[in-house]
Amino acid sequence: MKEGFITICGVPTHITTWGRWIEEDLVDVPEIVLCIPGNPGLVGFYTEFLHLLYQQLQQKIPVWIIGHLGHEESSENSETEVPCLKGNEKVFDLDGQLQHKSEFIQRFVPANTKIHLIGHSIGAWMVIQLLEHQLVRERVTKCYLLFPTIERMVDSSNGWNFTKIGVPIYNILGFAIPLFNRLPKFLQSLGVKVYFWLLNIPKTFIDTALEYSKAPVMEKVVFLAKDEMARVRNLDCNLIEKHLPLLKLYYGTTDGWVPVEYYNDLCSKFPHIDAELDKEQIDHAFVLRNSGNMARIVSRMISKYSNSLK
């Protein structure tokens, strides 16, 4: 595994790879796996899942992940800094994130290297939108949309909780986040450990959670989520129809963002769509507790379309 910050769209971006680094010569690499995360888009939440996926793929296909703009502060040796949200809203909204991913693909994925494109949650919506960029679409072999928030986000139970409860609480108590950031590191870690203990979240994510808890990061995460609630409403049937052969969708059965009703409606509208309903009670935020199961499931999907594994 190798990771670092690369400036994309003028903003330092956290990249992690298994197999080949993005700046290496990829002329002999026929295909890669690229993951676009959900929100929050911190790559640390996905490292266990993608490490296991790389192992499941017999280490024959490089696996990459690109973090979202502004969802992590740059490293100390980065040449640029992440700008503040105020005055740069168009950099960090959904359109800005799409431009960010498109530029990354065009800069670092050779035209003759095919992409297995994974999108989780809002990353699935981004993947479908990216297929409208010809220079991206012509590189893509298949898209794997995991627990896809591609419609009616605000109408879901989690969407209601976020807009009616989460946002008001954040607006009232958001001042406490900078105060938390000023605490000694060991007290911050202790607070996160207690929170993780209450929710039964593995301790391996503590460092990533501390990064997430930084006030400039959290405000951009919340800002993007608000944009999702406003933008991701009706299913874009025209895009689904247009790119149907490239799409593989995986829905959960206990998903507060994407209820089973959405899966049933999609299959009713598109009887021949390649969509699958989870049978293992895997959570929407699978990277926290179900990385092994999802790595096995996604590797099975990729194996069907990979020439490197045949």
- 3-state DSSP helix/strand/coil % of the chain, to nearest 5: 50, 15, 35
By annotation, the residues acting in catalysis are 121, 255, 284
Dihedral through CA 76, CA 81, CA 84, CA 89, nearest 10? -130
d(CA 44, CA 92): 19
Q: Which CATH number fits domain 2-18+29-305: 3.40.50.300, 3.40.50.1820, 3.30.1360.120, 3.30.70.980?
A: 3.40.50.1820
For the chain, give every domain's residue range: 2-18+29-305
DSSP type of residue 75: P
Closest CA to 158 of 228, 209, 218: 228
pLDDT value at residue 77: 67
310 residues of the chain, pLDDT tens digit each: 999 999 999 999 999 999 999 999 888 899 999 999 999 999 999 999 999 999 999 999 999 999 999 999 887 666 788 999 999 999 999 999 999 999 999 999 999 999 999 999 999 999 999 999 999 999 999 999 999 999 999 999 999 999 999 999 999 888 889 988 998 988 999 888 988 888 888 888 999 999 999 999 999 999 999 999 999 999 999 999 999 999 999 999 999 999 999 999 999 999 999 999 999 999 999 999 999 999 999 999 999 998 777 7
d(CA 173, CA 81): 27
pLDDT value at residue 307: 79
Cα 153 off chain centre by: 16
Cα separation values, 76 from 21, 65, 81, 184, 209, Å:
20, 21, 9, 19, 19
d(CA 136, CA 12): 21
pLDDT value at residue 60: 93
Backbone phi, psi, residue 78, to 5°: -75, 140
